[in-house]
Structure 1
Amino acid sequence: MSLQQRVMEEMKTAMKAKDTVALESLRAIKSALLMAQTETGAGAGLTEDEEVKLVQKLVKQRKDSAAIYTEQGRADLAEPELAQAAVIERFLPEQLTEEEIEKVVVQTIESVGASGMKDMGKVMGIVSQELAGQADGKTISNIVKRKLS
């Protein structure tokens, strides 16, 4: 079942349950999918990787907004953003733990022969591509920095 079909099914469920947070989140996914499809050309569907990247972008936007609201002492605005992020995350593949990400980073560093921060871009590129959809870029970056310094 495609992402768009899953979103439509979830929207029906959310409407019946009168779950406004889920409904708002699902409408955001649907809107983003439609925008992406029209950008790429008429009738062209999105690949699974493109769909995952799109959903990751939506989650990141919500989390970044929540962080800004929290910084400004606006918990009333941060909570709905985090709730929406949680709903949207359900459409992402299973996320890896930091330990699992660290194993991949260490293996990549050894295989590439990276010796310092100058090799960070090379390592990041390989690890990000390998763990696409399974790990957040920020987490990968932090682990790579820690291992290379």
Structure 2
Amino acid sequence: MSLADQISDDLKTSMKARDTIRTATLRQVLAGIKNLRVQEGRGGTDVTDEEVTEILTREAKKRRESIETYTQHGRDELAAKEQAELAVIEDYLPEQMGADEIRAIVTEVVAATGASQPGDLGKVMGQLMPRVKGKADGKLVNRIVREQLGA
């Protein structure tokens, strides 16, 4: 069963259980999948699990940014709602890499590219991001690369 089908089935289950947050969140994800199908001109053909993971990653990033903003402005009730939605989305994402795992890959890529100064950030990130795509938060990866390059 594809990831898109699993999300669709879980939407039906959450609707029957009257789980409003899960239902609303899964509807937003499915809307993103439908938009991708329309943009690509696929009609009825399905999207790949990698494309669904990209959509989920994008949605998770939006939630994290919203949580940060709401928390900074004292809107804890809105931050709690976004946190609940983020938890639903994270159920479908691959397990995220820890900082130590990211550091090991960054060290490997820095050595392979010969990067040694902060100006080499783009070269390192270009090689690194495809390897950690969907498995690590981009901000964390960027911060670790900057630490390694002494920026």
TM over 0.5: yes
Alignment correspondent of 1:125: 126
Aligned partners of 2:48, 2:144: CA distance in 1, in Å?
A: 29
Deviations 1:43-66 (A, max 9, x none): 353233222111100011111111
Task: Give yes or no for the alignment of 1:107 onto 2:108.
Answer: yes
After alignment, is 127-136 or 44-53 more displaced?
Answer: 44-53
Task: Give yes or no for the alignment of 1:31 onto 2:31.
Answer: yes
Displacement, 1:18?
A: 1.6
Alignment correspondent of 2:8: 8
Structure 1 length-normalised TM: 0.95
Deviations 1:22-73 (A, max 9, x none): 1111111111110111011133532332221111000111111111111110
Structure 2 length-normalised TM: 0.94
Alignment correspondent of 2:62: 61
Unaligned runs of 5+ in 2: none
Aligned residue for 2:122, secondary structure, equals helix
Aligned residue for 1:95, secondary structure, equals coil
Aligned partners of 2:26, 2:135: CA distance in 1, in Å?
A: 21
Aligned partners of 1:114, 1:132: CA distance in 2, in Å?
A: 21
Aligned partners of 1:134, 1:77: CA distance in 2, in Å?
A: 26
Aligned partners of 2:42, 2:104: CA distance in 1, in Å?
A: 42
Identity %: 37
Deviations 1:62-107 (A, max 9, x none): 1111111111100011110111011011111111111001100001
Q: How many residues align?
A: 149
Alignment correspondent of 2:48: 47
Task: Give yes or no for the alignment of 1:138 onto 2:144.
Answer: no
CA gap of 1:4–1:49, structure 2 versus 1, over 3 A, is: closer
- What letter matches 2:42 in structure 1? A
After alignment, is 139-148 or 13-22 more displaced?
Answer: 13-22
Aligned partners of 1:63, 1:95: CA distance in 2, in Å?
A: 14
Aligned partners of 1:15, 1:51: CA distance in 2, in Å?
A: 21
